[in-house]
Amino acid sequence: MHMELQQAEYILKYFSKFMNDNEKAAWKHWSTTYKTENSGMTELQKEKRYQVSLKSGWISQDSEVQDLLKDGIDAFRIKTAQRISKTNPDVLALNNCPKCGKLARTPFAKQCRFCFHDWH
């Protein structure tokens, strides 16, 4: 199943409740690491933040969790969204424009951000 990053981000934004425990841990790990690395902190501050995050469960040393992120965040997003859509096809409602077929901004949008078709 081929999935674009935009569709994967949509699924994770609106259907993240279907992530399994390892996927949730990987997402927390990545977001905490990303925020720390891009915070402008000194190396000493980053190390302190790392230790606090490790103790509080925001950083994971679990190899299964870290393996989910080994190919980068975009690959993680796509693989996780593919798994969610495969295991929850009955509740995963993608809101595609009835005119051009592209993915709407939200599951409840009634106007296409690409062709501006309105289906209110």
**pLDDT tens by residue, 2-56:** 689 999 999 999 999 999 999 999 999 999 999 999 999 999 999 999 999 999 9
Cα separation, 114 vs 7, whole angstroms: 14
User: Is the pTM above the cut of 0.95?
Assistant: no
Beta bridge partners of 103: 96
Is 56 exposed, middle or buried, given 0-12, 13-18 or 19+ CB atoms closer than 10 A?
exposed
Cα separation, 115 vs 100, whole angstroms: 7
For the chain, the domains span 5-87, 93-120
Instruction: Evaluate if residue 58 carries a pLDDT over 90.
Output: yes
How high is the mean pLDDT of the chain?
95
**pLDDT tens by residue, 91-120:** 888 899 999 999 999 999 999 999 999 999
